[in-house]
A and B are shown apart, each in its own frame.
Chain A
Amino acid sequence: MQLLEFQAKELFREYGINLLDSISSTNIEDGRKHAKELGYPFVIKIQVPVGGRGKAGGIQKCQNDDEFEIKYPQVMDLTIKGEKARAILLEKMADIKKELYLSIFLNRSKRCYTIIASAEGGVEIESVKNQIIKEIGLGEVSDELAQEVAKEMGLEGKNAEGVVDTLKKLSKLTIEKEAELVEINPLAIMQDDSIMALDGKFVTDDNSNFRHPELEKYQEKTAIEEQAEKSGLSLVELDGDIAVVGNGAGLVMSTLDMLSDNGGKPACFLDVGGGATTESVYEALTLISKLDRVKGILVNLYGGIVKTTVVAEAFLKAYEDNVIDLPVFSRLKGTESEKATEMLQGSRTKIFGTVEEAINAAVMGVKN
Chain B
Amino acid sequence: MTDIFELLKGNPGDSDYEKKGVIVQGITGAYGSLHAKNMIAYGTNVVAGVTPGKGGQKFEDSVPIYNTMKEAVDATNAKISIIFVPAKFFLGAAKDALEAGIKLLVAIPEHVPIRDTMETLELAKQKGAVVIGPNTPGIMIPELIKIGIMPPMPFKAGKIAVLSKSGTLLYEISDALTNAGFGQSITIGIGGDPVNGTRLIDAFDMVKDISDLEGMVVVGEIGGDSEEMLAQRIIDSGFNKPTVAYIAGRAAPKEKRMGHAGAIVMGTYGSAESKVSMFNKANIPVAKRPAEVPVLLAGKMEKSD
Give residues in A with beta carbon < 8 Å to B.
2, 49-51, 81-82, 106, 108-109, 111-112, 124-126, 137-138, 178, 180-181, 203, 205-208, 210-211, 234, 236, 238, 246-254, 256-261, 266, 269, 271, 274, 302-305, 333, 354-356
Contacts and interface: CB of A to CB of B under 8 A. Distances in A.
Contacts of A137: 122
A250 B260 contact: yes
Contacts of A251: 166, 168-169, 172, 248
Contacts of B195: 106, 108, 111
Contact of B252 (A2, A178, A256, A355): A256
Interface centre among A112, A234, A253, A355 (most CB of B within 10 A): A253
A interface: dominant SS: mixed
Contacts of A238: 253
Given A109-B226, A253-B248, A304-B171, 6 more contacts: A205-B113, A249-B192, A249-B263, A254-B248, A257-B250, A260-B251
Contacts of A253: 166, 221-222, 248-249, 251-252, 258-259, 263
B91 to A, nearest CB: 11
Contact of A248 (B115, B166, B261): B166
A180 B194 contact: yes
Nearest to B268: A126
Given A205-B115, A256-B251, A248 B168 contact: yes
A153 B290 CA distance: 48
Contacts of A205: 113-115, 194, 261
Nearest to B168: A248
Contacts of B260: 249-250
8 contacts: A138-B118, A248-B259, A250-B164, A250-B168, A250-B170, A251-B248, A252-B258, A253-B252
A113 B195 CA distance: 11
B286 to A, nearest CB: 12
B6 interface: no
Given A108-B225, A252-B259, A304-B171, A257 B248 contact: yes
B119 A257 contact: no
B177 interface: no
B168 A269 contact: no
A207 B249 contact: no
Contacts of A82: 253
Contacts of B112: 207
A108 B172 CA distance: 26
Contacts of B248: 250-251, 253-254, 257
Interface centre among A259, A271, A303, A304 (most CB of B within 10 A): A304
Interface pairs A-B: 4 shortest CB-CB: A250-B166, A249-B259, A248-B168, A304-B151
Nearest to B222: A253
A178 B121 contact: no
B256 to A, nearest CB: 5
Contacts of B253: 82, 236, 238
A124 B267 contact: yes
B21 interface: no
Contact of B262 (A108, A208, A266, A269): A108
A248 B194 contact: no
Given A49-B255, A109-B229, A250-B248, A302 B115 contact: no
Contacts of B103: none
A108 B153 contact: no
Contacts of A260: 250-251
Nearest to B253: A238
Nearest to B289: A258
A260 B151 CA distance: 29
A259 B113 CA distance: 32
Contacts of A247: 168
Contacts of A181: 266
B149 interface: yes
A81 to B, nearest CB: 8
B58 interface: no
